[in-house]
Amino acid sequence: AQSVTQPDIHITVSEGASLELRCNYSYGATPYLFWYVQSPGQGLQLLLKYFSGDTLVQGIKGFEAEFKRSQSSFNLRKPSVHWSDAAEYFCAVGAQYSGTYKYIFGTGTRLKVLA
Amino acid sequence: DTGVSQNPRHKITKRGQNVTFRCDPISEHNRLYWYRQTLGQGPEFLTYFQNEAQLEKSRLLSDRFSAERPKGSFSTLEIQRTEQGDSAMYLCASRQDPGNTEAFFGQGTRLTVV
C-alpha cells in the first residue's frame, strides 16, 4: 500500500544548529513530493515541492530537501534553525490513488527549538 | 486573493447536534479537498471535488457526513448527529488543474464534540 513514513515523532535542536527531518515514501513510481509546516492551531503551509529534475530543491524560510530515488526518501534540511521554526512538519506524496490525484501525509515530526 | 478561507475556525457542539463547516477556495481553483486531522496524526483524506462534482469519498466519511460544492465555488461539510470521535481539525484545500500539483490549505476548523 502507498504510504509516507516520518520515523521521528519529536526532534529537539538548539537554535543555530542544523536540522534534518526524515521522510520515506512507498509508491510504485516517483510521485510528487511535498513538505508542509503547521504551527499550532493553524493550517498547512507549503515549504517546498519536488516533481522532477534537480534532486535538491530549495524552499521558503531557508529550507531545502533532497530526493533520493534509491532510498525512496525526501529528507528536509535547514543549516541553521531559528526559534520560529518550532512547529510540526509533514511530508506528503501527491499521486493518483484510485483514479483521484490526492495527497497522502506522514504522521508528522514535531520540532522543538531550544534557545 | 487571500487564500483558502474556512469558517468557523472553532466549533464546540454537544453530542448529537448537527454542524456545518464552510470552505471558500482560492478563486478559480477547480479542485477542492477535505481532510481530517486528529491529534498527533497527519491529515487524512475525506473527499474530493472537481468543480461541483464530488468524485471520491473516503471510507472515513460515514453516512453522517455530507459535502457539497454548489456551482463549483465554496464547499460545505456537514456532520449530522455528531459523536465525540468526530472531534478533530477539518482542513480544506484547493488547487487549479492544470497548473498546480500542490494543494493550498486553509486554516482549518477545529471541532470539539462534548
3-state secondary structure of B63: coil
Return d(Cα A30, Cα A95) in angstroms, integer.
9
Q: Under an 8 A CB cutoff, do B40 and A108 touch?
A: yes
What percentage of chain A exceeds 90 in pLDDT? 79
d(CA A37, CA A89): 5
What's the pLDDT score for residue B1? 54
B57 touches chain A (CB under 8 A): no
Say yes or no to pLDDT of B111 above 80: yes
Taking Cα atoms as reference points, which of A102, A19, A22, A110 lies closest to residue A68? Answer: A22
| Residue B49: alpha-carbon gap to chain centroid | 11
| B8 preceded by a cis bond (ω within 30 of 0) | yes
**Per-residue pLDDT tens over the stretch B28-84:** 899 999 999 998 899 999 999 999 999 999 988 899 999 999 988 999 999 999 999
Grid look-up 513514513 returns A5
- Answer yes or no: is pLDDT of A112 > 80: yes
B98 Cβ under 8 Å from any chain A Cβ: no
Q: Which residue has the higher pLDDT, A30 or B64?
A: B64
**A102 closest CB neighbour out of B33, B104, B108:** B33
pLDDT of residue A41: 83
Query: What is the SS3 assignment for B72?
Result: helix
Query: How distant is the alpha carbon of residue A22 from its chain centre?
Result: 7
Q: Which of B9, B45, B94, B111 is the best substitution to test chain A (most A C-beta atoms within 10 A)?
A: B45
| Rounded to 5°, angle at Cα A63 from A103 and A60 | 75
pLDDT band, very low/low/confident/very high, at B99 (cuts 50, 70, 90): confident
The 10s digit of each residue's pLDDT in A95-111 is 888 888 999 999 999 99
A85 vs A28, residue with greater confidence: A85
| Among the ranges given (A21-25, A40-44, B34-38), the one the predictor scored with the smallest mean pLDDT | A40-44
A53-82 residues touching B, CB cutoff 8 A: none
Q: How many CB atoms lie within 10 A of CB A83?
A: 12
Q: Is the pLDDT of residue B2 over 70?
A: yes
